[in-house]
Amino acid sequence: MADVSSLAVFVDFENLALGFQNRHGRFDISRVLQRLVEKGKIIVKKGYADWSRYADYKRQLHESGLELIEIPRRAMTGKNSADIRLCVDAMDMCYSKEHIDTFVIVSGDSDFSPLVAKLKENGKRVIGLAMRKSTSELLVNSCDEFIFYEELEVQEVGDFQGVQVPAEKLEIFRLLLDTLVALRRESTGSLYSSMIKDTLKRKMPSFLESAYGYRTFSELLEDAQTSGLLKLSIDARSGTYVVTEFHANGRKRTRRGGRGRRGGRGRTHAEIMDGATGTSSAHDDGAEDREADPVFASHAEPVAVVSKVQAAEAADAAALAAANAAAGIPATEAALAQKPPRRRRSASGPRGRTPRPRASA
């Protein structure tokens, strides 16, 4: 079995905020970390920004264990200090922490391409993660692997379709199947029971099989096989269980606190793709948000006001035309009477200057 990788995560939060400017939802760091723990053990988590500008996110990031590095504003330093500090810390860790073999750069800024190249020169694996809209193609091609945040909103999950599962076992079986899906997504080869348990504990550190009524993890796998959720075989060399087949459905949308300031949810990756192909599902959601959102409603008010003014002017013109017709005034004379008089040029000349008198011959 392959060794578990050790990860260091560096978050350029200002770049993420740039990518979330036109989205309804908020950035959810838990989605990022849940995906990364499937790849290995996270050793270091650091975030870089002027946190006075992103105070709403500080509590969520603190609870997720990120070390928040305060960076002065660019107006004070004259440079992008967040990028510089991130590069310095990453290179320092590359040389001083040899056990860390994978670096995760959560940013789409192409300025990090030289950092990625230098880390790879030192034998490190580099994973990038950012919003699709704010990501440079140069950085994507430089990394060993790149994950778009939109893909984290749509994930494949375990499936209970056609299987009767007792209510008290739904939680543990759901966690087990989601872990199997994660391991298959990472293409780890044979799914040994020890590998499954290690990944499950990284996703849920408080996991203990005895809390769900099982003496051993193998007993949990046997119960899942009896329920029809998976199939097991015994490895001839190690004598441990190997999962050969399990229930999993297609990709499902995940919603974890994706509500933004406007009260609507952010569009998932599937909805974005629907909008690109002309499907109306994503556009309908946006229309509902715009109708309910006072910000969007305020933009529609001037249009209504203009239409009312135009209607009033049309009514006045119609009334005046009717009065002129009753008085026997032709339409042409009425139109000439309504024209404003032409402004005559001042005798003092252009721009109010008095013309000079001509010199006598």
User: 95: domain CATH number?
Assistant: 3.40.50.1010
Residues 6+ apart with CB under 8 A from 127: 7, 36, 39, 102, 103, 104, 105, 143, 144, 145, 146, 147
What does the alpha-carbon distance between residue 151 and residue 204 come to, in Å, rounded to a whole number? 21
Q: Is the pLDDT of residue 260 over 50?
A: no
DSSP 149-204: HHHHTEEEEE--TT----GGGHHHHHHHHHHHHHHHHTT-SSEEHHHHHHHHHHH-
Q: Is the pLDDT of residue 208 over 60?
A: yes
Domain-embedded: residue 102: yes
What does the alpha-carbon distance between residue 19 and residue 131 come to, in Å, rounded to a whole number? 6
Domain-embedded: residue 21: yes
Q: What is the pLDDT of residue 290?
A: 37
Q: What is the pLDDT of residue 46?
A: 95
Domain-embedded: residue 194: no
Q: What backbone torsions phi and psi does residue 46 show, to the nearest 5 degrees?
A: -135, 140
Domain count, the chain: 2
> Tokens 């838990």 sit at which residue?
30
Task: For residue 12, give the nearest of 45, 48, 46 by alpha carbon.
Answer: 48
**Percent of the chain surpassing pLDDT 90:** 32
Mean pLDDT of the region 266-281: 38
Q: What is the pLDDT of residue 197?
A: 92
Task: Give the amino acid at 254.
Answer: T
Domain-embedded: residue 201: no
Mean pLDDT of the region 263-276: 38
Mean pLDDT of the region 270-297: 38
- Most confident residue range from 150-154, 223-227, 275-279, 301-305: 223-227
Burial (CB count within 10 angstroms: exposed 0-12, middle 13-18, buried 19+), residue 89: middle
Handedness of CA 107, 113, 116, 118 (dihedral sign): negative
DSSP state of 129: E
Q: What is the pLDDT of residue 154?
A: 67
Same domain for 23 and 148? Answer: yes
Write down which residue in 134, 153, 172 finishes a domain.
Answer: 153
Helix then strand then coil, in percent of the chain rounded to 5, is: 50, 15, 35
Same domain for 10 and 131? Answer: yes
Q: What is the pLDDT of residue 254?
A: 43
- Residue 270 binned pLDDT confidence (cut-offs 50, 70, 90): very low
Q: What backbone torsions phi and psi does residue 294 show, to the nearest 5 degrees?
A: -65, -25
Q: What is the pLDDT of residue 334?
A: 54
Q: What is the pLDDT of residue 331?
A: 59
Digit-coded pLDDT (tens) for 43-94: 999 999 988 888 888 999 999 999 999 887 765 555 567 888 999 999 999 9
Q: Is the pLDDT of residue 206 over 60?
A: yes
- Residue 265 binned pLDDT confidence (cut-offs 50, 70, 90): very low
Q: Is the pLDDT of residue 112 over 50?
A: yes
pTM to 2 decimal places:
0.61
Residues 6+ apart with CB under 8 A from 217: 193, 196, 197, 209
Q: What is the pLDDT of residue 308?
A: 52
Domain-embedded: residue 310: no
Within the chain, strands assigned E span 5-12, 40-49, 67-70, 102-106, 125-130, 145-148, 154-158, 191-192, 230-234, 241-246, 248-253
DSSP state of 265: B
**Percent of the chain surpassing pLDDT 70:** 66
Write down which residue in 121, 153, 185 finishes a domain.
Answer: 153
Same domain for 267 and 146? Answer: no
Q: What is the pLDDT of residue 44?
A: 95
Domain-embedded: residue 183: no
Same domain for 1 and 149? Answer: yes
Domain span at residue 73 reads 1-153
Average pLDDT taken over every residue of the chain: 75
Upper half-sphere CA count for residue 53 (Cβ side, 13 Å):
13
What does the alpha-carbon distance between residue 145 and residue 78 come to, in Å, rounded to a whole number? 32
Q: What backbone torsions phi and psi does residue 320 show, to the nearest 5 degrees?
A: -65, -40
Domain-embedded: residue 101: yes
Write down which residue in 153, 171, 199 finishes a domain.
Answer: 153
* Number of helical (H) and strand (E) elements in the chain, helices listed first: 15, 11
Q: What is the pLDDT of residue 82?
A: 82
Q: What is the pLDDT of residue 354?
A: 55
Q: Is the pLDDT of residue 317 over 70?
A: yes
3-state SS, residue 345 = coil
What does the alpha-carbon distance between residue 86 and residue 157 come to, in Å, rounded to a whole number? 34
Domain-embedded: residue 4: yes
Q: Is the pLDDT of residue 304 over 80?
A: no
| Tokens read off for 316 | 């006045």
